Structure 1
Amino acid sequence: MHDLRLKANLLLLLVAAIWGLAFVAQRLGMDHLGPFGFNAARFLLGALSLLPLTLIFRARAGQASLRPLLRGGLAAGALLFCGASLQQAGLLYTTAGNAGFITGLYIVLVPLAARLMGQAVNRGIWAGASLALAGLYFLSINDAMIINRGDLLVLVGSAFWAGHVLIIGKLAPHLDGLRLSIIQFLICALLCLVVALIYEQDSFTLANLMATWQPIAYAGLLSVGVAYTLQVYAQKHTPASHAAIIMSLEAVFAALGGWLLLNEELTARALAGCALMLAGMLLAQLPSRKKADTQPTGHA
């Protein structure tokens, strides 16, 4: 059991790195495509990349009823669409580092949402939320007390990521993770495609898709096809406290990726905000270890 948990934690660290660096690919992808067109392509590619695995694991998948998978995949896919769309649109106006840290607020929002559903929330979570909000102020709000448009979009998206975390945590132990991943990706891709065909007709062309194949390949094959599936698997074998702490490092990888690959700069004020947000994410999880050992968690 210990070896299985260690393996799951290492997989979640890999997931955090893949997702953090994906913010770089997501920004580069919009050099030619709109946010919905890019997401439609990457989530469709992610779903298609998993289809061959259904042949390998056909016997195991056949044991599960299709109806619960469809219901769960539809709900998870709709939340995924909302979170991913707001995040992608926000990246038009903010940096990869900012988007990574603000998206990471879902780690604080998950226990707060649990409180709204009647579960107890201890002082550590409230303290962590307070630190995270203070960090958001330093990172995103200027002297005129106005939040950057992109940061605001990503912030709203983090609420949907929190919802996705909760529903995946509920579904993952009971449904086939591979087929659940494929269904939610297809639902998300279809919704993005509809919006792209309506509002992004000028940019959503074959020529632009071909010009953006590298960011789409990374965001589709690695960030979607590999990382989301590893998330579903790992959530079955590691405590919520471990998973949430490890996955909060996604924000750090996003900031590093933006600095190294996009030449993004973080001011002293922004760095202070990042530090406060990361501290808040960690503090919100550490005191909950005993209560959360059997409840899965993860990113959306």
Structure 2
Amino acid sequence: MSPLQGNICLLAVTFVWSFEVIVHAAIPHGISPFATSCVTSLIGAVLLWGYFFRRIILVLKWHRDVYARRLLLLGVLNAIYNVLYLIGLEYFNVSVGAFTASMTAVILPVMVLVMKHSISARSWISAGMILFGILVAVSPNVGQNEIPGLALMALGAMFRALFIVKLNEYAQVYDPVTLAAGLTGVSAVLSFIPWAIVQPATFLALPWSGRLIATYFIYGYFIVAFATVLNIYAQKRTSATHATIIYSTEIVFTTVWAMFLPSVIVHHVEITLPVVIGCLFVVAGNLIEISPSKDDEKGHWKKDAEDDVMIRVSHPYARLLDSTKTPFGRSVLLFAALLVVYLVIALPFKVLLVIPGFSDIRPVYMLYPVYGIFFGVPGCLATAFGNLICDVVSDGLRLSSISGFIANFLYPYILYILWTKVPKTRFCLRRRRMLTAFVASFAICSVLQALIITPAVAHFYPDVDAGLFALSVIGNGTLFPFFFAVPFIMLMQEELGYKPLTGPRMAKAQEA
């Protein structure tokens, strides 16, 4: 993974974390934060252990005691930070709270310097600009009543800074997948203990509903599992200071969510000049830190399964596909597996509606480029049928679903043709030109989707705001593939060893 790719992955992690403000708004008031932390960490741990079980077991056979000590330390630091963070946030609104939480970007460089590690001048300048942005945004909102909250957030930032330093240190040495699975498991246990003390009935005391279950699953597999794995892999390729500065962009994302998303999804925050200035300084500080260098596209191709002490293991479903004799049978099995994954990711997000019955927030778009480039036609069919099934299950099946079926097939199919059939060179997101073209293809496919679906919706349902619907389609189809699919593909291709499909033109070019 190159430095440029590492920056993109860290930015994606921050984007996912900022999504937490939306997910939290869907959790009923009165539920203990320990309960939310325990349940979502447990879901993330189960997902990671379930998929990477053989790999994790092989690692733990060699280094079980070492991993146990490291994970316990990380879990304790993370738990302390989360408790202080949740209590401190009670004193501020969403936007100002995000600014105070980003004090880590200023505290961590000082901590690293105390540990006698060098910090580049560029990082100091970036941290200074972020500090100025925090002060500008927070100062008008801090009075005597908010001072305790500010003190709690500062103390929490110190624990978070130490957590990031240790995580970065361990990521250089240990297997990222095992670290992620262990960390989520330890977090679940450490959250369960105080939860059981304050609410002995624990799981039985929760007001279970379809909305709460869906919200917890969203939190568990995106904010916990996906972000944790991606973060540790990115930490492996960068420094703690660099990572923390990029983390500060969570301020910007959170503020945007709070200002522009519908009030049914998240509590609105009034835009003020100090908040805007604060965001601009945070962005400027990050631009200085990530300004490109000559080494951005360098690095080495690597499969993490072959690095250090890792042994590559195949997934049971891959062995099932290999044992299927006919190509058609393999395609059917592949389609079924991809369809299940699509539904597991898509259905919970039906609770976050933009236009009830027609449009919702859809991170499932992260699968469209992955399905098209890595799995071809079976993947394209999985997105089309998956979207149709979601319409049926959510009581959203309408005449316009026909155009939706066509559009949701074409999106990944166009990417499949563009990136596996046409090129003569290997698909590689390390190349800036290819990365830029790849992201541009998301926008093209999203606009095409909107052009196919919106006229049908406007014709059959004139009461629906066609403009808002089209914008939601384009936004979903552009933002989530960029922030989720791009880093996910980088992770699959360069760290986990998965290969995209190879078209005939590319095969002939390689033979020549």
| TM-score (norm. length: structure 1) | 0.80
1:235 aligns with 2:235: yes
| Alpha-carbon distance, 1:253 to partner | 1.4
Name the residue aligned to 2:168: 169
Q: Is the radius of gyration larger for structure 1 or structure 2?
A: 2
More relative contact order, 1 or 2 (CA 8 Å, 6+ apart) = 1
| Matched residue type, 1:153 | L
Name the residue aligned to 2:81: 83
| Alpha-carbon distance, 1:56 to partner | 4.9
Kindly tell me: are residues 33 and 163 of structure 1, through their superposed partners in 2, closer, same or farther at Cα, counting changes over 3 Å? same
1:269 aligns with 2:274: yes
3-state secondary structure, aligned to 2:268: coil
Larger deviation, residues 90-99 vs 163-172: 90-99
Name the residue aligned to 1:183: 182
| Matched residue type, 2:224 | V
| Matched residue type, 1:157 | G
Contact 1:95–1:258 (8 Å) recurs in 2? no
Aligned equivalents of 2:152 and 2:201: distance in 1? 23
Kindly tell me: are residues 11 and 119 of structure 1, through their superposed partners in 2, closer, same or farther at Cα, counting changes over 3 Å? closer
Aligned residues: 288
- 2:14 pairs, out of 13, 16, 25, with 16
Kindly tell me: are residues 119 and 168 of structure 1, through their superposed partners in 2, closer, same or farther at Cα, counting changes over 3 Å? same
Contact 2:126–2:245 (8 Å) recurs in 1? no
Aligned equivalents of 2:4 and 2:29: distance in 1? 39
- 2:101 pairs, out of 81, 100, 103, with 103
Give the 5 Å matches for 1:1-300. Answer: 2=2, 5-29=3-27, 31-57=29-55, 61=59, 64-121=62-119, 125=123, 127-142=125-140, 145-146=143-144, 147=146, 149-200=148-199, 205-210=204-209, 212-238=212-238, 243-259=243-259, 260=261, 261-280=266-285, 285=289
Aligned equivalents of 1:224 and 1:80: distance in 2? 13
Name the residue aligned to 2:509: none
Structure 1 unaligned spans of 5+: 295-300
| Alpha-carbon distance, 1:79 to partner | 1.0
Contact 1:33–1:204 (8 Å) recurs in 2? no
Aligned-CA RMSD value: 3.3
Kindly tell me: are residues 116 and 6 of structure 1, through their superposed partners in 2, closer, same or farther at Cα, counting changes over 3 Å? closer
- Residue-by-residue CA offset, 1:180-236 (whole Å, 9 max, x unaligned): 122222222222221122234589754425463333222221111110111111222
| Alpha-carbon distance, 1:113 to partner | 0.4
Contact 1:141–1:148 (8 Å) recurs in 2? no
| TM-score (norm. length: structure 2) | 0.49
Aligned equivalents of 1:151 and 1:81: distance in 2? 19
Aligned equivalents of 2:71 and 2:227: distance in 1? 17
Percent of pairs identical after alignment?
Answer: 24
Kindly tell me: are residues 207 and 50 of structure 1, through their superposed partners in 2, closer, same or farther at Cα, counting changes over 3 Å? same
Contact 1:43–1:185 (8 Å) recurs in 2? yes
Name the residue aligned to 2:348: none
Contact 2:23–2:215 (8 Å) recurs in 1? yes
Aligned equivalents of 1:144 and 1:38: distance in 2? 28
